[in-house]
Amino acid sequence: MESRKSSTMANRKAPRVKKKLDPESEAWNKLPWRKFEQHVYRIQKRIYRASQRGNQRAVQKLQKLLMKSEAARLLAVRRVSQDNQGKKTAGVDGVKNLKPQQRRQVASLIHPKQWPQKVKPVRRVFIPKPGKNEQRPLGIPTMYERGRQCLVKFALEPEWEARFEVNSYGFRPGRSCHDAIAAIFSDIGKKAKYVFDADIRGCFDNIDQAALLKKLQTYPRLRQTVQAWLKSGVMTEGEFTPTPSGTPQGGVVSPLLMNIALHGLEEALKGVKRTTRDKPQMVRYADDLVVFHSTLETILEVKTRINDWLKDMGLELKPSKTRITHTLTPYEGNVGFEFLGFSIRQYPVGKNRTGTNSQGTPLGFKTIIKPSKEAVKRHIAQMKQQIDKRRSAPQGQLIKELSAIIRGWSNYYRTVCSKAEYSRCDYILQQQLWSWAIRRHPNKNRHWIRQRYWKRGEGQHGIFATSEDYDLRRHDATKIQRHVKVKGAASPYDGNLLYWSQRLKNHPTTRGTLAMLLQKQQGKCRWCDLQFREGDQIEIDHITPKSEGGGEELSNKCALHRHCHDQRHGTHNKGHMIEEPSEEKSSCSVLQTSGWGDPCA
């Protein structure tokens, strides 16, 4: 009897123990992060305004002041070691997952006075491109170099945000794919035009380093540091390869350097204009660009001008992805074009459905933007892959995985005419799930299978759900919400925090719960009380953990920075315990596009 009791007690789950922090972690969390953020942002605003005035001397003085400050160095280290997804990926030195004591050491080592002349090479890995047989080379710097690059980015980005062209949208804070699509609709919505659709071949790998450094126009020490990063070379499976051209794709500062290299392309097209009102309009997202004009002769001249301009930067257009088409009528067998996973085209319609110009005159066509056929095809294949992976998994686990994919993909395309594609995806998904259920129970009849996995609802098979009412999310449950394009040359460094916090709440990839929390908290983090800014990693946290009886109601949730979330659950004296993972506890970043959307490459 006693032995049975002892075995029963041994099998019981041990009570959860509150996490006790070590002194270094506690000291790191107690740093005045709010003051650091305010101090750094204050200097960045001054850099932005000095760059707008054209005062280069003031810009460089402020940049030196920013990079020497302890606040900026600590924030740079926190960004790369806590916030970034790549914190668990090591460079050539094998260092990853920095502890608080190591973070303090790195913050002291990245002071500009201690910058070394030589830089360790980046570790190159190859990742597959979605839906293609090609692979993209990714360069991973060491954690120390990531901290230095983030510090340099803090200083350079405000300067160039004041200079960048209005219609440049890729890899810029506060701008996204949806802003580029809205700009395209604004350019062609009232007039049919010819389109020059182009892609730059190997943009990151082929940039002329000398031309880039000359365009950078910075003081010698910073110029030498950037040059050292460009010349550092790559290590591929233990073999060293020099880098005489390009910038490693994957570094913290690489996207900014790429934008600096392509800056001025829009200005170069101003000499092609025919009249004051009728001039070519360009929209660029990273290395993808489209140019619109009403005449074919102008588009052909634009193509020549862009080719000549890119040669000075060591770049060229990719012939397989470069073509000329028309938005309304066929040209060389093509009509319309695809951009960032969207299909953009104008359709002839009758007088009752036609669009009108600013004077109210019927146009005879309607501009429709919707998900591209390739994007829908890849999404359907992705869902099928998840279903095939979980042939013997519980139904609830399958629903959880599929709902996350459906939610992300639907949110990415909810700003355009996507209802027909949503319904088609739902129909095909039901067929895939029906095949999954029949394969699990080959000896059961269809009525039994329907009763087992579906409940009453709309459609032939009803709603795919568990007995605990855990329903599969449908594509058509996502409401269409039009995206408002960013205002002109507005930047997060202009100081208008109210405008940017409102845009964050209305961002297409921001889910319903997070959007309501941002509105409830007036765009501020509940822990540090700072305004959420573009690029911040935001997570949903349960105020009372579910393990302690907390529910899923909105009053028991709050929006926090990722680092604030870690700090809150690591604070021993607050009495909080580490929560278990939850489907609702996912992060949102508007610095990048949705991970479930289409890549721009």
Q: What is the identity of the amino acid at 267?
A: E
- Rounded to 5°, the CA angle 154-176-423 comes to 150
**Number of other residues whose CB lies within 10 A of the CB of residue 329:** 12
The total of other beta-carbon atoms located within 10 Å of residue 527's CB is: 19
Is the confidence at residue 598, as pLDDT, over 50? Answer: no
Residue 9 is predicted with a pLDDT of 39
- How far is Cα of residue 276 from the mean position of the Cα atoms in its chain? 36
Instruction: Determine the pLDDT at residue 20.
Output: 55
Q: Is 16 a residue whose pLDDT tops 80? A: no
Which tokens hold the place of 38? 């305010």
Q: Is the pLDDT of residue 18 over 70?
A: no
- Per-residue pLDDT at 454: 87
Percentage of residues in the chain having pLDDT higher than 70: 88
What is the pLDDT at residue 589? 37
CA distance linking residue 341 with residue 184, whole number of Å: 14
Can you give the pTM of this predicted structure? 0.84
- Of the listed ranges 181-195, 350-364, 470-484, the least confidently predicted one is 350-364
Kindly state the average pLDDT of the residues 492-508.
81
Give CA–CA dist 373/488, Å, rounded: 31
What is the b/e burial string over 375-392, where b = at least 16 CB atoms within 10 angstroms of the residue's CB?
A: bbebbeebbeebbeeeee
Residue closest to 590 by CA, chosen among 475, 478, 511: 511
Q: What's the pLDDT at 189?
A: 87
Out of 237-246, 328-337, 381-390, 578-587, pick the least confident: 578-587
Asked whether 534 and 500 are in contact (CB, 8 A), the reply is yes
The set of residues, in sequence order, having a beta carbon less than 8 Å from that of 56 and lying 6+ positions away, is 217
pLDDT digits (tens, 9 = 90+) for 290-309: 999 989 999 999 999 999 99
What is the third-level CATH fold of 164-208+245-368? Alpha-Beta Plaits (3.30.70)
**Band of residue 514 on the pLDDT scale cut at 50, 70, 90:** confident
Q: What is the pLDDT of residues 64-117, one digit of tens each?
A: 999 999 999 999 999 998 888 888 888 888 888 888 888 999 999 999 988 887
Q: Give the residue from 3, 23, 1 showing the smallest Cα distance to 11.
A: 3
Residue spans in the chain of domains classed CATH 3.30.70.270: 164-208+245-368
276 pLDDT band, cuts 50/70/90, is: low
The per-residue pLDDT for 208 is 92
